[in-house]
Amino acid sequence: MFDTAKTETKLELDGVTSGYGPIAIIKDLSLSIRKGEIFALMGKNGMGKTTLLKTILGLVSARSGEIQLDGRSIVGASPKALIKSGVGYAPQEQPLFTDLSIQDNLRLAIRSDRDLGAALEHVFTHFPFLRDRLAQQAGTLSGGEQKMLILSRALMLKPDLILIDEISEGLQPTVIAQIAKALQAEQAENGTTILLVEQNLNFALDVADRWAVLKLGEIDDSGIADADSRERVLEHLKI
């Protein structure tokens, strides 16, 4: 639930415009994510949710506006530099090396093998099935298991901020529940800030402290996640 103590800003976007070629997808968007909160960003297909995450990460350039992480500008920073400064990313597209083992996929997320043992133990607390499956080829995991591996990779460095893109897509409720539990544990135990792009309203509003709906690259509505949020968000997602 929303904690009024969470007032410090972790990520601030101010008047951000970005897109592809001459087309602006994100339009003069301002958004403030507080330290330690789970923030759900929802919206219909093609509204710019992924583009927004990619703009924060520097994978898509911001044409104008300001993006600050912990009060410092990150406009123009490389994705690698952002990951080094504590940002994790679980992309929507399957980013696994399917012919490599689970362990090798996880190893690629850390800088030095010296950190491997501790990082693995960290992700095993959320997804214990990985412990006995480290040698298995990632491509042979089920869809749900692959999603848990993608999230685990983003969690290997214990990021302060995680950007997660439609992790629940195509997953059965038990796997979604496991992922929800993992995110809530990260938030509660490590004070992790989570920006969750989602289409699954129930999952998003269950775990989120606050939410916003993106429409054609602009914030159309936003609020605290409470009993009335579901109906309000649903209205925005209608055709």
Ligand X SMILES: Nc1ncnc2c1ncn2[C@@H]1O[C@H](COP(=O)(O)OP(=O)(O)OP(=O)(O)O)[C@@H](O)[C@H]1O
> Using CA atoms, how far apart are residues 49 and 197, in angstroms rounded to an integer?
7
What is the smallest separation between the CB atom of 51 and ligand X, expressed in angstroms? 3
User: Strand runs (DSSP E) across 58-181, as ranges?
Assistant: 62-69, 72-73, 87-90, 161-165
Question: Which residues have a Cβ under 8 Å from the Cβ of 78 and sit 6 or more positions away?
Answer: 58
CB 107 within 8 A of CB 116: yes
**Least distance (Å) from ligand X to the CB of residue 138?**
23
Cβ proximity to ligand X, 127 vs 203, nearer residue:
203
CB-nearer residue toward ligand X: 55 or 152: 55
| C-beta separation of 213 from 219 below 8 A | yes
Using an 8 Å Cβ cutoff, are 170 and 122 in contact? no
CA 96 to chain centre: 16
Among residues 179, 162, 156, 130, the alpha carbon closest in space to that of 36 is found at: 162
Binding residues for ligand X (CB under 6 A): 20, 25, 43, 45-51
**Dist CA 44 CA 221 (whole Å):** 13
By beta-carbon proximity to ligand X, the closer residue of 62 and 102 is 62
Measured from the CB of residue 137, what is the shortest distance to ligand X in angstroms?
27
Which lies closer to ligand X via its Cβ, residue 45 or residue 112?
45
Token code pair at residue 52: 């927004």
The residues with which 211 forms a beta bridge, in sequence order, are 40, 223
Contact 185, 193 (CB under 8 A): no
In whole angstroms, the minimum distance from the beta carbon of 54 to ligand X comes to: 7
Q: How far is the CB of 169 from ligand X (least distance, A)?
A: 9
Q: Distance between CA atoms of 68 and 236, rounded to whole angstroms?
A: 28
Nearer to ligand X, 59 or 100 (CB): 59
Least CB distance to ligand X at residue 94 (A): 14
Q: Which is nearer to ligand X, 1 or 23 (CB)?
A: 23
